[in-house]
Amino acid sequence: MTDMPIDPSVIESDNAERSTGFEADFAALGEQLERCGVAIDTIVKAVRDFTVAVPSWGVGTGGTRFARFPGPGEPRGIMEKLDDCAVIHQLGRSTPSVSLHIPWDRTDPAALKDKAQSLKLSFDAMNSNTFQDHPDDPKQPLSYKFGSLSHADEAVRRQAVEHNLDVIEFGQAIGSTAITVWIGDGSNFPGQVDLLRSFERYLESAKAIYGALPEDWRIFTEHKMYEPAFYSTIVQDWGTNLLIAQELGPKAYCLVDLGHHAPNVNIEQIVSRLIFARKLGGFHFNDSKYGDDDLDTGSIDPFRLFLVFNELIEAGEALERLDPAHMIDQSHNVTDPIESLIRSADEIRRAYAQALLVDRVALREYQDANDPMMASECLKQAFRTDVTSILAKARIMDGGAIDPIAAYRASGYRKKVAIERPEVKGGGGGIV
């Protein structure tokens, strides 16, 4: 049984209004690409096959350390979050899976599976949470104020490990096959923790989680330069993260969150190095101007996103063997989260489609001939190509909307759920 949240007639009538313009744009782009020897249908097919997971926490309004301003019709729990995720997928057709966060999304796994099935959704990597205290969880009475997997107290470390094992068990019940571990452990002052001993403690805990991974599971560790710790962070950069993945073993991989690097760091080069090391596990897509801003993907620096995809495509078969997970990790403070996630998923596919257009034979020749101008022009030419109609074609072929944000607004979904879901009061700082 399916229970899709948007009436298909809304999509049909919105598409009907736009179809003449869309057809003309698609035909013109097809001709343009044909002149360069590219068959537009092959790009459309690749785009249709490319999917990305949405984060359950992304459909609620996020916040900053200062305040949270809830929007109308916010989902009250994981079931309503899944409804919102289904809207995103129904209109955009590129986000068939959801990444859950435990304990935020904990509920009866069988009911969760049924609900997801009815919405034609599945589950991507699970996320554990030992970066905040869980006063309502009888299994986690100890505080993570001074860390979790690297904590000085063995009892806290054990509790954090146990929580991760719980998350894996929960994930198994709903068909997930990976866990992402991001922790806030670190220190605020020089001398507060012993840098060497705390890393050894972290590794010992991570090994205990790794040892309990089911046969077909992977663990993704996620680095982040700083925050909430402001002097040292235990998994602070991709070097440490690679070390961890190599220490743990073949089921351990590095997750690259685009917002977790020092400003101006060459993220695409990190991606390339992780591919070389066969340790690229996946992505948390978002965008940022200053730090871990968690803005909509591609909203600040779409060229950087394109360059990341350029590395992925350049890797060819090596990437197929790695099969990295594609997930969004964003926080929406001033937009409707559904609209932001639709837009991000679309921008991710856009960068992918543009990267597919790079003339790789020509690029290699320019590189080998030491022609930086033409090599960079070769990338720029692909990046400048407006692939909007390819993205729309991919959506239409799968029953989605030509303009998913317009169709979403036309559906009145937010107004409808705002009546069903009571208003939430704003207040103090939020996280993630």
Q: Which residues of the chain form contacts with ligand PSV (CB under 6 A)? A: 127, 182, 222, 224, 257, 284, 292, 329, 432
Nearer to ligand PSV, 183 or 248 (CB): 183
* Binding site partner of 205, from Mn ion, ligand PSV, none, Cβ cut-off 5-8 A by kind: none
Distance CA(150)–CA(187), nearest Å, equals 11
Whether omega before 228 lies within 30 degrees of 0, making that bond cis, reads yes
* Binding site partner of 127, from Mn ion, ligand PSV, none, Cβ cut-off 5-8 A by kind: ligand PSV
Q: How far is the CB of 143 from ligand PSV (least distance, A)?
A: 18
* Joined tokens for residue 217: 């599971």
Nearer to Mn ion, 329 or 336 (CB): 329
Nearer to ligand PSV, 344 or 385 (CB): 344
- Is residue 255 within 8 A of residue 128, CB to CB? The reply is no
Q: How far is the CB of 336 from ligand PSV (least distance, A)?
A: 20
Backbone angles phi, psi at 192, to 5 degrees: -60, -45
* Binding site partner of 299, from Mn ion, ligand PSV, none, Cβ cut-off 5-8 A by kind: none
Q: How far is the CB of 215 from ligand PSV (least distance, A)?
A: 25
* Joined tokens for residue 75: 């989902």
Nearer to ligand PSV, 74 or 292 (CB): 292
Distance CA(362)–CA(121), nearest Å, equals 40
DSSP 8-state assignment for residue 68: B
Q: How far is the CB of 200 from ligand PSV (least distance, A)?
A: 24
* Binding site partner of 47, from ligand PSV, Mn ion, none, Cβ cut-off 5-8 A by kind: none
Nearer to ligand PSV, 140 or 354 (CB): 140
* Binding site partner of 311, from Mn ion, ligand PSV, none, Cβ cut-off 5-8 A by kind: none
Q: How far is the CB of 131 from Mn ion (least distance, A)?
A: 10
Give the list of residues 6+ apart from residue 90 with CB closer than 8 angstroms, or none.
4, 5, 6, 11, 399, 400
What is the bridge-based pairing of β-strands 280-285 and 186-187?
A: unpaired
Q: Which residue, 186, 182, 189, is CA-closest to 145?
A: 186
Distance CA(81)–CA(379), nearest Å, equals 38
The neighbour count for residue 369, using CB atoms within 10 Å, is 10
Backbone angles phi, psi at 26, to 5 degrees: -65, -40
Nearer to Mn ion, 256 or 401 (CB): 256
Q: How far is the CB of 330 from ligand PSV (least distance, A)?
A: 9
Binding site for Mn ion (CB under 5 A): 257, 284, 292, 329
